[in-house]
Amino acid sequence: MPKKINKLSSKKNTNKKKKKSVKVDPITLQVIGGALHTSAREMGHVLYRMSFSSIIRESEDLGAGLFDANFQTLSESDSTPLHIGSIPGYLRGIQETLQDGEWYEGDVVVHNHPYYGSSHSPDLAIAIPVFWKGELVGFSANTAHHIDIGAATPGLIIDIRDVYAEGMLFSGIKLYRKGERNDAIWQFMESNSRTAKMLIDDIEAQIASARLGEQRMKELISEYGIDTFKAACNELLNYTERMMRQQIRAIPDGTYRADGWCDDDGRNRDKKLPIKVAVKVKGDNVTVDLTGSADQVPTAYNVPFEGSTKVAVYCAFRSLLLDQAETESGRAGFEIFEQAIRNATPAIEVRSRRVGGANYQVPTEIRPSRKLALAMRWIVTGARQRSGRGMSQKLSAELLDASRGQGAAVRRKEEVFRMAEANRAFAHYRW
């Protein structure tokens, strides 16, 4: 297992050097940005419509997007944030383990190794390099959760000894090399899955989605020229960074702490796993410190740093800074978040207590750390239950509703309070 790293810091975009100084006018910039976004959404749509397994087709447990040659995200589909957010980590892992050690036009790569950037083993990534006149200019890639990849037991399992029991592991393996199909690896996959046909068909859907993205990127380059395309992509990245840092500056400098826990490690049911977070803000920089969180556990409950931990942090900040909510409300994202937490935080809860052979629902005061944990849990649960696509958008909408005293999290808080009121006659049983 790689050495545990507990800190994340924001870094400035380093992709700012260009061979040519190309000025992109605002209209062209918006057109290219819109085209990139539409292409990614189209990739996601093709993937879930062509897939056969319910976890991809109905749950939309997938992510798709376009990326520059430095693995930076140019556009993303409206899908699961932890999928789309993890793809840059996948691409870096592929670069480290790539078959032949080099990309060729016509390559199609499969990758899912948790020690090399992936989120977890059942999430297979398909990546296709995009070349223009012999130059590698970007990538079209996606990830999707598969039903069975030959693990010790069907589906996703927790109580296993090591990563090798999670099923087939692929690290930078080429399904197609220079356009030629690698029949041996396809036969290997088909021979090592309990749902072989579904696995193969879903991978084919991923390839179709990635090839569509490759085609769309080439169409953009053909229309606007490679220099304009690169300049536009770089300006979009710089603009995103400026907007993000502007939002970070709106947060008062200081250190913000929170504690939580996971119920168990999948084997030891009575052993809670602490999660401790310290967010340090200074100017337009932010550092997330996870020191004090649970150590590595002996089950498949450990979270890869590159493909999951970093992505979860990015997703949280994306939802916290609330571009959509700010546009709708005219309030700063941090203010919205604080108000949402306050409105969803309970002061009292009901706990079951057995007295004299009977069970009573006893109103009980909540300790501060649990208050915060419950508020955040209810907000996340409420976001998941909302209609629409994209967890980041649903979480933003739930936080905005909670800041207004509305939404599922606030309703849950009110339900708990009403239950406590209804059982106030038993309050003396809490001692």
Chain mean position to CA 38: 20
pLDDT of res. 263: 85
On whether both 228 and 261 belong to a single domain, the answer is no
On whether both 201 and 266 belong to a single domain, the answer is no
| Predicted structure pTM score | 0.76
Phi then psi dihedrals of residue 282, to 5 deg:
-145, 110
The residue length of the chain stands at 431
Bridge partners (DSSP) listed for residue 289: 7, 278
Cα separation, 217 vs 215, whole angstroms: 6
pLDDT, tens digit (0-9, with 9 covering 90-100), for 44-88 = 999 999 999 998 988 888 999 999 999 999 999 977 777 888 999
On whether both 112 and 215 belong to a single domain, the answer is yes
Chain mean position to CA 165: 24
Cα separation, 287 vs 361, whole angstroms: 42
Cα separation, 280 vs 291, whole angstroms: 13
pLDDT of res. 333: 65
Cα separation, 134 vs 137, whole angstroms: 9
Taking residues 411-419, report their average pLDDT. Answer: 89
Instruction: Check pLDDT > 80 for residue 10.
Output: no
Cα separation, 227 vs 18, whole angstroms: 9
pLDDT, tens digit (0-9, with 9 covering 90-100), for 188-224 = 999 999 999 999 999 999 999 999 999 999 999 999 9
Q: Is residue 345 situated within a structural domain?
A: yes
DSSP state at residue 219: H
Cα separation, 405 vs 403, whole angstroms: 6
What does pLDDT average to over the chain?
87
On whether both 99 and 187 belong to a single domain, the answer is yes
Cα separation, 102 vs 46, whole angstroms: 28
Q: Is residue 119 situated within a structural domain?
A: yes
pLDDT, tens digit (0-9, with 9 covering 90-100), for 140-176 = 999 999 999 998 888 777 778 888 889 999 999 999 9
Q: Is residue 2 situated within a structural domain?
A: no
Which among 373, 344, 332, 327 is positioned nearest to 248, based on CA atoms? Answer: 332
On whether both 201 and 335 belong to a single domain, the answer is no
Helix (H, G, I), strand (E, B) or coil at 38: helix
On whether both 235 and 273 belong to a single domain, the answer is no
Of the listed ranges 38-42, 258-262, 354-358, the least confidently predicted one is 354-358
Q: Where are the alpha helices (DSSP H) in 322-390?
A: 323-329, 333-344, 368-385
Say which residue, 426 or 117, is predicted with more confidence: 117
If one counts the domains in the chain, the total is 2
On whether both 327 and 424 belong to a single domain, the answer is yes
**Owning domain of residue 303:** 252-430
Q: How far is CA 72 from CA 75, 127, 292, in A?
A: 9, 14, 31
pLDDT, tens digit (0-9, with 9 covering 90-100), for 374-388 = 888 898 888 888 876
Q: Is residue 1 situated within a structural domain?
A: no
pLDDT of res. 285: 94
On whether both 221 and 348 belong to a single domain, the answer is no
- Last residue of one domain, picked from the residues 187, 210, 244: 244
Q: Is residue 210 situated within a structural domain?
A: yes
Cα separation, 315 vs 64, whole angstroms: 16
- Last residue of one domain, picked from the residues 190, 210, 244: 244
- Tokens for 331, please give them: 């309030």
Largest CA distance in the chain: 82
Domain CATH code at residue 280? 1.10.455.10
Q: Which helix (H) or strand (E) holds 222?
A: helix 196-224
On whether both 240 and 268 belong to a single domain, the answer is no
pLDDT of res. 246: 86
Q: Is residue 54 situated within a structural domain?
A: yes
- Last residue of one domain, picked from the residues 200, 223, 244: 244
On whether both 34 and 84 belong to a single domain, the answer is yes
pLDDT of res. 104: 97
Neighbour count for residue 376 (Cβ, 10 Å): 17
Q: How far is CA 244 from CA 26, 70, 147, 294, in A?
A: 20, 20, 36, 30
On whether both 38 and 55 belong to a single domain, the answer is yes
Strand order in the sheet with 7-9: 7-9, 285-289, 273-282, 254-262
Phi then psi dihedrals of residue 35, to 5 deg:
-65, -40
pLDDT of res. 300: 84
Which among 281, 273, 231 is positioned nearest to 256, based on CA atoms? Answer: 281
On whether both 22 and 119 belong to a single domain, the answer is yes
Taking residues 348-368, report their average pLDDT. Answer: 80
pLDDT, tens digit (0-9, with 9 covering 90-100), for 220-273 = 999 999 999 999 999 999 998 888 888 888 889 999 998 888 888 888 888 889
